Chain A
Amino acid sequence: MNTKLNNNTKQTTINPSKSDLLSKIKKNKRAYLYILPAMLVVLIISIGPILYGIGLSFFNANLYTMGQGTVRFVGLRNYIRAMGSMDAEFLRVLIRTFVWTIINVFFHVSVGFIVALALNRPKLKFKGLYRTLVILPWAVPQFVTALVWRMMYNEQFGFFNQILLRMGFGPVPWLSHAKLAFLSAIIVNIWLGFPFMTMVATGALQSISKDYYEAADIDGATGMQKLLNITIPLLKPAMLPATILGTIWTFTNFNVIYLITSGGPGKATEIVSTYQFNILTQQNAYSMAATYSVIVSIILIIITTVNMKVTKALKQEGVE
């Protein structure tokens, strides 16, 4: 409020209103010029096809009808069909995707943040070594490590069961038991995902001026007080966008489930992305796949809108 008032008075007193308007237009022109190339690529290559895909969800396009030239408008039929099967397969897949997302993002952010805090301790030795080791799950191509994890989960010869065997425990059905297979995939995804948050948090931690901590030390603040009143508020601007992205990535994650369990056993670990992929590639049901995409998108838009509102509120809090 105060800063706004100051700005207004500044503008009216120092600049005549006409030249102010002109300079504003000039400034905007440059802004649009800077943004245009990025926007054009996204519009033509991504948003255009997505809109087309949304359109497809109102038709009956699949491999057969497209080959026969009998693609026609079917209105909301696909949506009704999706809702009709909601009580069965799709709803279960959807709920599983929510559980998957919440557990993963929680551990990505919390583990990533704690590791970043540990790495940021000023007198920590072997910092570079630790940082390199911690970043490895992110640096090594995901699909390689996912396949390695799958191998380590192998019931007969896998690393985990061999260790357990040595300790006198029987083989654990890591990937063949429905609930355990889901847990196994979550463990892999936490392992894969937390280094990203560590990197984001580390970058932000290093940009925090030491002066804040020195001032807090003079005032006799405890470590916890410094964490809550300096570190976390100043990390928010970097961590919240990362968390929103992490949520979206996890919700739409494909590789981990597909490579580790392929959605199995049965369809016990199928999440929306793998479910849609199977509809698309195995059944070639283009319109149905698009319909599921639209439903998922609506859910994600709702989640993100709520997230952004929270972010905005927290950001204002951080500024004060």
Chain B
Amino acid sequence: MNYRMKEKISYLFTHLFMIVVSIITLVPIWWVLHTAFDNRTSMVSTELTLFPNSPTFKNFVEVLTHPSFLMWLKNSIIFAGGTTIFCLSLATLAAYAFSRFSFPGKHAGLASFVVYMMLPATASLVPQLMLIKMLGIKNTYLSLILIWTAGNMAFAVWNLKGYFDTIPKSIEEAAIVDGASRLQIFLLIMLPLAKPAIAITAIFVFTAPWTDYVTSYLFLTDGSMYTLAQGLFGWAADFRTVSWGVFCAGSIIMALPLTLVYLIFQRYIVGGLTVGGVKG
């Protein structure tokens, strides 16, 4: 009885805490939604309402019929999707090796990833520009997919390795006893077990090219290759082109794929699959 009351009160405080945190995270997002669905053309208003007085989709219609916006959207999908697939294919293999094998150069290899991460991007920007020009792939999808893959590799490998490390070796040992090869173990046992980590890593890797505008700003000079982030930043910098409402509608469309990706992968993020793996 007493214990139950205590627990109830403690859960009440947890709810209060979570509600406060949720409100803090929601305020700027509420502001964007409010503006995007608001009928008024100006960003600023002197009245504060929880919901727009006369909600409208006209900003969304305007942005989705804007030819530049659709082009940026297509480019961003190719850049971010390509980077995610390429980076994760290489990173899971490397992370598995770093987690499970011991070999000369292992620590140097891991450390080199960290050393690379510590070098601010500006150190390599000019030489990277030269390299891309030299390879003759300036203003191509390949150029930035390579740059972003390399840029995210260290994080992806470290993140996946950290997760592989938490998967008990007993699962693999059992498989070895059963006569499974290393590649079979990696593909059929480790990858399914690592789904939560792979999902989280994929979302992070996808986020980088999707939201990065500095790299595309420096590397893409051809307007037809511009990304969503780059295009929207241009709109934000000059509001004579579009209204705040249209900009916010575009921002929501840009944010939506990421939110969807998050929802699709949420199952894997939530599931503690290692527990089931050992027990099953």
Contact = CB atoms under 8 A, between A and B. Distances in A.
Contacts, number: 267
A67 B181 CA distance: 57
Interface in A17-69: 27-28, 30-32, 34-35, 37-39, 41-42, 44-50, 52-54, 56, 61
Contact of A27 (B22, B103, B128, B147): B103
B229 A209 contact: no
Chain B interface, >50% SS class: helix
Interface string B137-151: 000000000110111
Contacts of B85: none
A157 B44 contact: yes
B229 A280 contact: no
Chain A interface, >50% SS class: helix
A144 B32 contact: yes
A50 B124 contact: yes
Interface stretch (A71-79, A225-233, A297-305): A297-305
B120 A28 contact: no
Interface stretch (A83-91, A132-140, A167-175): A132-140
Nearest to B161: A241
A148 interface: yes
Please classify how large the interface on chain A is, using the bins under 10, 10 to 19, 20 to 34, 35 or more. 35 or more
B233 interface: yes
A28 B104 contact: yes
Please classify how large the interface on chain B is, using the bins under 10, 10 to 19, 20 to 34, 35 or more. 35 or more
Interface in B70-112: 89-91, 93-94, 96-98, 101, 103-104, 106, 109, 111-112
Contacts of B224: none
B31 A31 contact: no
A89 to B, nearest CB: 16
A261 interface: no
Interface of A: 27-28, 30-32, 34-35, 37-39, 41-42, 44-50, 52-54, 56, 61, 115, 118-119, 121, 123-126, 128, 130-145, 147-149, 151-152, 154, 156-157, 159, 162-163, 166, 191, 195, 199-200, 202-204, 206-207, 209-210, 237-238, 241-242, 244-245, 248, 252, 254-255, 258, 272-273, 276-277, 280, 286, 289-290, 292-294, 296-297, 300-301, 304, 308
